[in-house]
Amino acid sequence: MTGRLESIPFFVILIVVVSAIIIYFIFFLIDKYYVVLTKKGKEFYFIKSLSNKIMLIVWFIWFLCSVYYLLLFSPIITLIFLTGFYLFTKDFWVNIYSGILLILNGKIKKGDYIYFPELAIEGTVNKLMLLEIEMTNSDEELLYIPYGKVLNTIFVIKEKVSSYYLNEFEIRDNDFNTKLNEDIIKKVLLLCPWTVLSKRIEIDRIGGGYKIKTISFNKKMAVYQKEFMIRELQKI
């Protein structure tokens, strides 16, 4: 009878379920109201980080206690519980595993200037946290990117420069097989690793082509930017 739910006393199931609900709502209220009310300044990030650490410890203790008491009465039900718990918290474990891989491989480290083309995000890595990377963009805004997202997307580690380069050039319609428009050109520029995403892109129609003004990180990268754009447009 160790594989049946009836073998577990009702009060054990009740304690496991009710305690989980209470823990969830306590941290939900903290995150929803208290943390949000202090969302400006360093205090917000300190409170949020502290809240996440406490939440992790509390859930870990809850998990160990739940497994212990369920295992005393029904190993099979405990296995089902563990499977359900993993599926419910899968994103958490994916971020943990991805973070371990990234840190051990040394691919990303504090101080790196990183660009994520698919996420349209770039900035300097401040620190590698438990579940995510903390970055600062050019507007001094803090960004948090989960490790799971980082591991499954393309990123470019750049050399940060203090000044930008205005890249102006023209392209001709007859150099490409497809009919170009501003949306297509802008989409390719945004995917380019050497485009400064926080700066304005200007695309003007001229006779037989387009005049483009965009910002690159330096003069050398401006050449790469133009070559990248022409190469990608020719593939379309």
Q: Domain 107-158 is in which class?
A: mainly beta
Helices (H), the chain: 10-29, 35-37, 42-73, 75-88, 90-105, 147-151, 182-191, 219-235
- Give the N- to C-terminal CA distance of the chain in Å, as an integer: 64
pLDDT for position 42: 55
209: which 2 tokens? 């082509």
CA distance 57 to 73: 25
pLDDT for position 163: 59
Backbone angles phi, psi at 117, to 5 degrees: -60, -45
CA distance 94 to 170: 45
Query: Could you say which architecture CATH assigns to the domain 165-235?
Result: 2-Layer Sandwich (3.30)
107: which 2 tokens? 């691919």
What letter does residue 137 receive in the DSSP assignment?
A: -
Three-state DSSP class for 25?
A: helix
pLDDT for position 1: 41
Query: What residue segments make up the domains of the chain, in order of their start?
Result: 5-88, 107-158, 165-235
Distances in Å between the Cα of 125 and the Cα atoms of 39, 115, 165, 189 are: 21, 11, 23, 24
pLDDT for position 3: 45
CA distance 221 to 189: 13
Distances in Å between the Cα of 234 and the Cα atoms of 173, 177, 208 are: 11, 7, 16
> pLDDT truncated to tens, each residue of the chain (236 aa)?
444 555 667 777 788 888 888 888 887 777 666 544 555 555 556 666 677 778 878 888 888 888 887 777 777 777 777 777 777 777 777 888 888 888 787 778 888 888 887 777 888 888 888 778 888 887 777 888 888 888 878 777 765 544 577 788 888 888 887 788 888 888 888 888 878 776 778 888 888 888 888 888 777 778 888 888 888 888 87
Q: Do residues 19 and 62 make contact, with C-beta atoms less than 8 angstroms apart? A: yes
34: how many CB neighbours lie within 10 A of its CB? 12
pLDDT for position 161: 47
pLDDT for position 179: 83
178: which 2 tokens? 């497809």
pLDDT for position 222: 80
pTM metric for this prediction: 0.46
Which residues on neighbouring strands pair with residue 121, listed in sequence order?
Answer: 116
Beta strands in the chain (DSSP E): 113-116, 121-128, 132-136, 142-146, 156-158, 165-172, 202-206, 209-216
90: which 2 tokens? 């899968």
Q: Do residues 153 and 205 make contact, with C-beta atoms less than 8 angstroms apart? A: no
Q: Do residues 127 and 136 make contact, with C-beta atoms less than 8 angstroms apart? A: no
Which residues on neighbouring strands pair with residue 158, listed in sequence order?
Answer: 113
CA distance 127 to 110: 5
